[in-house]
Amino acid sequence: MQTVTIDHTSLLIGDRIAGEVLRYAAHLDATRSVDDVTIRAIDPDGREVSFLLPLGGWVPLVAEHSDSTLPEPLNEDALEYIEDRMADFAQYAEVRPAEPQPAE
């Protein structure tokens, strides 16, 4: 499990979703893009919650290892969404502008 801190709020999420969210956030920052993802997490009171996580260069996001023994919330839909969006970005990254032609 990972503790994710967003604007003074700490929530527990699974290791895999934490890694993917950080990777996606870094990619969004590098491409000057923004997005949001709905994530299932465990709040400080131990309740499972859903929250909309805004992502982009302006959103400070920190994840750190947690020793929690609580079961990880399921985030398959969020993982699928992030993987699909990253695949979309990869597809567009392969398109390159044509080389400039010399003037005649």
Distance CA 49, CA 24 (A): 21
pLDDT category at 32 given cuts 50, 70, 90 is confident
Give the residue numbers spanning the domain of 15.
2-93
pLDDT digits over 45-101, tens only?
A: 999 999 998 888 777 788 899 999 989 999 999 999 999 998 887 766 555 555 666
Domain membership of residue 22 (yes or no) is yes
Tell me the average pLDDT across 26-49: 91
* 7 pLDDT higher than 80: no
Domain membership of residue 38 (yes or no) is yes
Domain membership of residue 64 (yes or no) is yes
Domain membership of residue 79 (yes or no) is yes
Domain membership of residue 102 (yes or no) is no
DSSP states of 14-54: -HHHHHHHHHHHHHHHHTT--EEEEEEEE-TTS-EEEEEEE
* The total number of structural domains that make up the chain: 1
Tell me the average pLDDT across 28-36: 88
